Amino acid sequence: MLLGTTGSIIAFEPELDRLLHPHLSYASPESEALSLGQISDAVSRRFVGEPIVAFLLPSSPDFSAQVVLPSGIVYVNQYTGEILGVRTRGQTFLGFARALHVRLATGDVGKDILKWSAVAMLFSLASGLYLWWPLQRVRIRGGWRHRRFWFDLHHALGIFSLFPLLVLAVTGTIIGFEDQATRLINKLSGSAMLTIPQTGARTEPTRGAIPITPDEAVAIARAEMPGTTPYRVQMPRFGGLYRVSLRSSQDKLMGDRNSVAVDPRSGTVISSVRSGDSSIAQRILAANEAIHTGNVFATPSRILVCLTSITLPLQAFSGLLMWLRRNKILLD
């Protein structure tokens, strides 16, 4: 029930977050957006003494920019520099839903419980098909107070959601056993996980040299990877380098896994990681995750994942009622 309920919620996590916090999420587009330097100045004037950890760049002109501070995330109108609000560090409703879905919000123990739950679901689906086959019920009869209603609902929901639930169970099991799956794929394909390619060397600071700005680091990263769009810039105070994450619209599976590390003193590219250089295992696991989350075909597949997830608590509830009535714990 937890997997189905939380899965239906996080299928549309970004949209729900913007729906719940519209005052933070949106900015009216104007002629030209401010530079990262100007956004940084606006945030620093409001939050004196707090260093900027990273910039999260908006994916749409009408979305706000986000500036990550040690104390939380500041939402900024990238056209005017207006501070729209602050989200302090702590668990949000959607974050808690995701934590429940991935780890039962309890760490490694919860993760182990959930991955074996996914395995158990495979057996449940197989046994459900076996039990459905003799009667092959697809109609729902009677009122909801009647035992027949829940019996028919359980069977009809089960058969119509069998295939998508099977896909979710298989992909969820692979995610739960990702380390083992990676080793198996690498063994079968004869490949290994790629290391980060080094394309430059860190240079010593020049006396009197002025460090490059975040905007210059973004320009360097875009020149290194033409055709990509930056969406995150980590500041050198936290890691020693500018780390620019970029998204490529050409790669549907791993387009957001491009990154360029830039020396803040010289502007030299220290390393670049391209999604096209990913190993076979990385691409297979990325495809598996995209199928599980519904991102493989954008909105239509996310709707399907959401609706399929909703059937899980309905199946569990109707099955529980059938069991209670059959064992005379709950009478008609």
Task: Note whether 125 and 13 are same-domain residues.
Answer: no
pLDDT at 114 over 50: yes
- Residues 265, 291: one domain? no
Q: Which amino acid is at 270?
A: I
The answer to whether residue 200 scores a pLDDT higher than 70 is: no
Residue 221 domain flag:
yes
Q: Is the domain of 272 the same as that of 291?
A: no
Which CATH number goes with the domain that contains 266?
3.10.450
Q: Is the pLDDT confidence value at 26 over 90?
A: yes
- Tell me the pLDDT band of 141, cut-offs 50, 70 and 90: confident
Distance CA 128, CA 228 (A): 47
Let me know how long the chain is: 332
- Specify if 100 maps to a domain: no
Predicted pLDDT at 151: 85
Pairing outcome for strands 258-262 and 242-248: antiparallel
Instruction: Determine which of 105-114, 162-171, 235-244 has the lowest per-residue pLDDT on average.
Output: 105-114
**Whether 175 and 293 share a structural domain:** yes
| Residues 229 and 256 reside in one and the same domain | yes
pLDDT interval class at 57 (50, 70, 90)? very high
Least Cα distance to 176 among 122, 117, 125 occurs for: 117
**Is residue 19 in some structural domain?**
yes
> Do 138 and 65 fall into the same domain?
no
- As a whole number of angstroms, the distance between CA 18 and CA 59 comes to 13
Pairing of strands 72-76, 228-234: unpaired
Q: Identify whether residues 36 and 89 lie together within a single domain.
A: yes
Does residue 82 share a domain with residue 11? Answer: yes
Asked if the model's pLDDT at residue 207 lies above 80, the reply is no
Q: Is the dihedral of CA 273, 277, 281, 282 positive or negative?
A: positive
Q: What is the pLDDT of residue 325?
A: 77
Residues 273 and 316 in one domain: no
Q: Let me know if residue 65 belongs to a domain.
A: yes
> Of the residues 258, 278, 298, which one is the last residue of a structural domain?
278
User: Does 331 fall in a domain?
Assistant: no
**Domain check: are 81 and 34 in the same one?**
yes
Q: How many Å apart are CA 100 and CA 98, to the nearest integer?
A: 5
Choose the weakest-confidence range: 54-58, 120-124, 231-235, 316-320: 316-320
Section 165-169 average pLDDT:
96
Whether pTM exceeds 0.85: no
Looking at the fold, whether 163 and 118 belong to one and the same domain comes out as yes
The residues near 190 (Cβ < 8 Å, ≥ 6 apart) are: none
Tell me, what amino acid is at 131?
A: L
Confidence at 161, pLDDT banded by 50, 70, 90: very high
Digit-coded pLDDT (tens) for 173-198: 999 999 999 999 999 988 665 544 44
Q: Which domain holds residue 54?
A: 2-94
CA–CA dist 59, 34 (Å, integer): 15
What confidence score (pLDDT) does residue 329 get? 52
Torsional sign, CA 73, 27, 254, 260: negative
110 and 176 part of one domain: yes
- The pLDDT tens digits of the residues spanning 268-305 come to 999 999 988 888 999 999 999 999 999 988 899 999 99
Does 204 reside within a domain?
A: no
Count the domains in the chain. 3
Last residue of a domain, which of 94, 126, 145? Answer: 94
Residues 6+ apart with CB under 8 A from 5: 309, 312, 313
Spatial distance between the Cα atoms of 243 and 271, rounded to a whole number of angstroms: 9
For 248-276, what is each residue's pLDDT tens digit? Answer: 988 888 889 999 999 999 999 999 999 88
